[in-house]
Structure 1
Amino acid sequence: MGKSNILVLGAGGQLGQELRAVAEGSVQHYFFMSRSELDVTDLLAVKLFVQKHHIDTIINCSAYTAVDRAEDEAEEADRINHQAVAGLAELAKECGLYLIHISTDYVFRGDSHLPITEDEIPCPQSVYGRTKLLGEEAIRHTGCHALILRTSWLYSTYGSNFVKTMCRLMQEREELGVIFDQIGTPTYARDLARFLISILDQNAGCRHEGTYNFADEGVCSWYDFAEAIRHYMGYHCRLCPVRSGQYPTKATRPSYSVLDKSKLKRAFGVTLPHWQTSLEECLHKLTWTDTNE
């Protein structure tokens, strides 16, 4: 079987940049397009690109992810997270493409105390979560060949994220309050990128379809996550656990969004790293980058 031509949309984001780095060793042919280069909301431009470059697989990393701002910009969030995704799904159906779409734990209410399976009924509590769920439903409605991956607490050496924010704040302040009553699993974007590149390399003739949870192993609060960062980096900033109510936000966050990955591990035969192991890898990369610039 020949090489696949794979289009990555949203290649300027955390996951997109990690995919670019990991794909250097891939046997497939990738096209990485940031939003400024190919806007996911411009379906005609995407279609012309697909036809010109004989694309057979699209990985959609594009998303409106400003969770609080989405409460005031619901129309824009819907345009990117829902309407554009619906257009991609229609294009995939029309052209026989394989669509891989990245979704989120925010599609769930997040008030459980057991790991969330793919079969749990979604009940998003924010504009961001609702628009991401509408995107998922649009994909399923078309019946196109699609793999939807829900992930949580994504971070990377690229872009803006909790890890990089904590590293900056802990160097600037003597004391920092961090929320301890929201529980989930940090997921290193490179782990997700490795998974995607691997399944596309190894299973070129087998298109896995359906909805799966993907996150690293383990469970923690944002406070635990921050404490692990502080410990690894050797910062002297004192961390104080605080309740969510002390830091009110426009958007409601899930209080418990640990994803059950059993279905994914069975289907793909993969093992997933513990979040602390992956965090150390990411922090090592950040430290190495900072000292070699």
Structure 2
Amino acid sequence: MKLGQLIRRVTAAGAGIVLAGTILTVPAAPAHAAPGGSGPYPADYETTLRLPRHTIYRPATLPTGVLLPIVAWGNGACRADGTWFENFLKELASHGFLVIANGRPGGTGSTDADMLIDAIDWAIAENSRLTSRLRGRIDTTKIAVMGQSCGGLEAYEVSDDPRVTTTGIWNSGIMSALDKAQLSRLHAPIGYFIGGPSDIAYQNALDDWNRLPAGLPAFMGNLDVGHFGTYSQPNGGEFGRVGALWLKWQLKGDAAARAAFVGTNCGLCSGPWQVRQKNLS
């Protein structure tokens, strides 16, 4: 069944999604245990009244001489719980990124794509705000928009922002043929990280892949783990590892990370990932 046929209904507890009358269990948000991540800068999350509808992940101790690129994240089900993907997002932040998730910790309700732009705007302003602890610590020229499932659709929607350096689509694909025109507005390298044929987003993601603008650098990796990926595993599991590599390449120019994605002998080209590449160099 295509993602466009999905009828989502998050339960009052946020514990399930209804698909054709069948409840799919969604992994519970991991318990708060700070700091975390396998990177060199153990990360935690915080909130601020200056951005009240978001959760901010960053190295618990800001590294000296290291600028933090910006990563704006949309949750699956467009759920306004900024800690639903805690393990995964701490992993990304621990590699030296400022990760801003839609929704407050443990929040309820729904998000929208504008919240990703709010996150970017806040981070850029915070980098120059006189009394900010992040003043001069953020790389405002390197910005990723990413999201899982419904959050991936949010990321698509704002990817035409000229400030965006890369887009990450996780277990997602555009559902309606009427919305496929969004793909023509993509201007920055895009990475797809999908859960294989059992992922309800699989067919939509493949269709999007085939419609990408000519010449756009693109990578697709399919790992046979289904729609809910490995996000709740320690450090986000394999999705956390590969997500950090994608960001290190795209936002930090890391040559070792690049080798995971580029060429016929790329690091992900042998093993459990099924890989597609376009215009990568």
TM-score, normalising length from structure 1?
Answer: 0.38
**Could you say which structure has the higher helix fraction?**
1
Greater length-normalized contact order (CA 8 Å, ≥ 6 residues apart): 1
When Rg is computed on C-alpha atoms for both structures, the one with the higher figure is 1
Q: Normalized against structure 2, the TM-score is what?
A: 0.39
